[in-house]
Chains A and B, each alone.
Chain A
């Protein structure tokens, strides 16, 4: 079965500092991994995805994520956080075997960037 774990409910970081939001996954076969961001009372916005290729994936708004197969991780990173990055972040994996369209989302991590 596919699953995603986000071990941190909340991450606090000062503006200008680097940030990391953690994600680990469990899949059957090759993982298709995604990061989405959700602002209050809004839908999810796509940030980036990993399908194959380079382990470091660059996405929207200066975010990037590093795929680590040995650690089954896909942590989201940004070199310098902005207050406007404060939001809820979801890691997700696609189910390619039973339902190609189905996403399995992590529980979400609330990112707080303080001025």
Chain B
């Protein structure tokens, strides 16, 4: 089945630095990928929709300049948290849509635990 690989699984960074998270579709092409954020004991909230070859579409309230998204190829999207602060600490999950699987074709990555110290 469709597999989405997300790296790193865990990252600890100092406040003020930037962190890049990668999301790859391993066995299918994904023109659209999605980035979610999950706070402890809360649900997933869609941050942005990443479109291959064009600008990402951000959800209301998400800072575009802070959460930079690049979808340069059909199998890779990256999320860069710029000038990270402790409040950015969270669990980030990407998702990619495999058009070949119809409506069930949204495959989620294993997530990245970001801790900003």
Contacts and interface: CB of A to CB of B under 8 A. Distances in A.
Contacts of B43: 90, 105-108
B103 A107 contact: no
B62 interface: no
B4 interface: yes
Contacts of B97: 101
Contacts, number: 52
A101 B49 contact: yes
Interface residues of B, number: 26
A51 B111 CA distance: 27
Interface string B92-109: 010101000001101111
B109 A43 contact: yes
B58 to A, nearest CB: 12
B44 interface: yes
A41 B44 contact: no
Contact of B44 (A94, A99, A105): A105
Contact of B46 (A45, A102, A108): A102
B42 interface: yes
Interface in A39-55: 41-46, 49, 51
Contacts of A44: 44, 93, 95, 108
A102 B44 CA distance: 11
B34 interface: yes
B22 to A, nearest CB: 14
B32 A41 contact: no
Given A42-B110, A43-B4, A94-B103, 9 more contacts: A9-B41, A41-B91, A44-B95, A101-B34, A101-B106, A103-B106, A106-B43, A108-B41, A108-B42
9 contacts: A32-B103, A41-B113, A43-B4, A43-B6, A94-B103, A103-B44, A105-B44, A107-B42, A108-B43
Interface of B: 4, 6, 9-10, 32, 34, 41-46, 49, 91, 93, 95, 97, 103-104, 106-111, 113
